[in-house]
């Protein structure tokens, strides 16, 4: 499959697509894909919001207001209604892991730094955040044993933290009898009110994972699914 090169007219010139990057996020709200954050080794990290209209196949950079998050990579982004919630990541300017939550209201393109209540989730990057109902479930990620600054003493979380978007409060998920190994760079998705986590990497164990876990928020129960050694898929 070959995708066309997409450009966006802007005034009298043509603006290129966002510069090449990794560690960014992309979410779909209505008919618009929003790309935020990420970095490359030439340009550094980015905090510009890019919008791609899937109907017109044109890029734009909406004019935003409010408290714009610092440029970062390895954060998460998830959608509730017309809001995009950004959590964590590694901030370039501060040179540290983050545990703040920012909300982008795509109805008016306004950023809000949420004054979250309760014990916040530990600062981290390359975790996952998934909306189930009106709560955000954060799992995994890489952090540092001694604080938000990177000292090469990495730790990998295996707990689930819950953020209630109605009360803006962090909640501790009840302990599960069989939690997964801590990891980063995994994938996560919600299906029928349950959280599924696949794969990831733990540098302390020097181990890549190919296991699949299911978490039921109502029962606080995590369950590992058995996968065949070889997986074949069709695209």
pLDDT at 16: 60
If one counts the domains in the chain, the total is 2
Clarify whether residues 213 and 235 are in a common domain: yes
pLDDT at 7: 43
Average pLDDT of adjacent 10-residue blocks, the chain of 235 residues: 44 62 98 97 95 95 97 99 99 97 99 98 98 98 94 93 98 82 98 97 97 88 59 41
For 179-202, b/e burial (b = at least 16 CB within 10 A) is bbebbbbbebebeeebbbbbebbb
The enclosing domain of 41 has a CATH number of 2.40.10
pLDDT at 228: 56
Clarify whether residues 103 and 138 are in a common domain: no
pLDDT at 9: 42
Span 166-197, pLDDT tens digits: 999 999 777 777 899 999 999 999 999 999 99
**Would you mind telling me the total number of residues written for the chain in this entry?**
235
Domain boundary among 96, 115, 134: 115
Global confidence as pTM:
0.88
Q: Is the dihedral of CA 160, 214, 193, 104 positive or negative?
A: positive
Enclosing domain of residue 102: 22-115
Clarify whether residues 235 and 199 are in a common domain: yes
In a domain, 11, yes or no: no
Q: What is the 3-state secondary structure (H, E, C) of the chain?
A: CCCCCCCEEECCEEECCCCCCEEEEEEEECCEEEEEEEEECCCEEECCCEEEECCCCEEECCCCEECCCCCEECCEEEEECCEEEEECCEECCCCEEECCEEEEECCCCEEEECCCECCCCCCEECCEEEEECCEEEEECCEEECCCCCCCCCEEECCCEEEEECCCCEEEECCCCCCCCCCCECCEEEEECCEEEEEEEEECCCCEEEEEEEEEECCCCEEEEECCCCCCCCCC
Clarify whether residues 127 and 212 are in a common domain: yes
Clarify whether residues 126 and 232 are in a common domain: yes
Using CA atoms, how far apart are residues 197 and 128, in angstroms rounded to an integer?
9
Clarify whether residues 181 and 195 are in a common domain: yes
pLDDT at 132: 98
């Amino acid at each position: 499959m070959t995708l066309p090169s997409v450009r966006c007219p802007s005034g009298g010139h043509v603006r290129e697509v966002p510069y090449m990057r990794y560690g960014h996020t992309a979410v779909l709200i209505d008919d618009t894909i929003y790309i935020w954050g990420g970095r490359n080794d030439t340009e550094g990290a980015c905090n510009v919001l890019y919008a791609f209209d899937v109907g017109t196949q044109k890029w734009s950079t909406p004019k935003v207001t409010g408290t714009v998050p610092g440029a970062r990579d390895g954060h998460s982004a998830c959608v509730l209604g017309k809001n995009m919630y950004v959590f964590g990541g590694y901030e370039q300017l501060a040179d540290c892991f983050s545990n703040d939550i920012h909300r982008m209201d795509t109805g008016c393109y306004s950023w809000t730094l949420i004054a979250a209540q309760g014990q916040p989730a530990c600062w981290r990057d390359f975790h996952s955040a998934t909306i189930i109902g009106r709560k955000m479930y954060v799992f995994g990620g890489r952090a540092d044993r001694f604080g938000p600054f990177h000292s090469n003493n990495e730790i990998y979380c295996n707990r689930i933290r819950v953020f209630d978007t109605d009360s803006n409060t962090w909640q501790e998920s009840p302990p599960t009898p069989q939690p997964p190994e801590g990891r980063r760079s995994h994938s996560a998705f919600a299906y029928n009110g349950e959280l599924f986590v696949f794969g990831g990497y733990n540098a302390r164990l020097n181990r890549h994972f190919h296991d699949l876990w299911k978490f039921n928020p109502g029962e606080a129960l995590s369950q590992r699914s058995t996968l065949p050694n070889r997986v074949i898929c069709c695209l």
